[in-house]
Homo-oligomer: A and B are copies of this chain.
Amino acid sequence: MIPSRAKRVFKGKIFDVYQWRQKMFDGSYETFEFVQRPDTVIVLATVKNKLVILKQKQPNTNWYYSSPAGRMDVPGETPKQAALRELLEETGMRPEKIIHWKTIKHRGKIRQNVYFYIAKNCKKVTGQKLDPGEKIEVKLMGFDSFLNLVQSSINRHWLAEMLVDIYQAKLYPKYKKTLRNLIFK
């Protein structure tokens, strides 16, 4: 619930800061603030019965695991186009079929949409096209190994937006089957 009169007070490389004057319960006013970060796409990509997982490093990080993913920074691009572009750039792969899985709309003090796609039956069609700030190795991983990544704290940052799905799959065999079918069928 952010009023339309919220004004951008800072424009950064990634983060924009907005403020507005908010009436309090006692009739007084305070300056409220939120940060907008660019919308992001995350791609669960499959090759046969395996998931495409990236081993990745950026100039200010150690190696970490992730899915193909990226910021939507091309003007006019749809989330689906961004998902296909990031997958192609980071892995050189194109899917037979791509479906929208879910969208998480962060609505707190840090605002961002995260779009999830499932890219099925990917095939390598070209080489990687990496940014100067990326080192990426492409790995394939089975579904159970993927779910078990959540047991390791170093992977939880990447899995954050899927944590609930993964734990629900581990708790409830029925949901595990649903999720497996969604990704691989």
Contacts and interface: CB of A to CB of B under 8 A. Distances in A.
Interface of A: 1-3, 9-10, 12-15, 17, 19, 22-26, 28, 30-33, 35, 37, 59-61, 108-110, 131-135, 150, 156-157, 163-164, 167, 170-171
Given A9-B12, A25-B134, 14 more contacts: A2-B60, A10-B10, A10-B17, A12-B33, A13-B19, A14-B109, A24-B59, A25-B132, A26-B132, A28-B132, A37-B109, A110-B110, A156-B164, A171-B171
A179 to B, nearest CB: 15
Nearest to A28: B132
Contacts of A30: 132-133
A35 B15 contact: yes
B17 A12 contact: yes
A15 B14 contact: no
Contact of A60 (B1, B12, B61, B157): B1
A87 to B, nearest CB: 21
B13 A15 contact: no
Contacts of A13: 19, 31-33
A171 B163 CA distance: 14
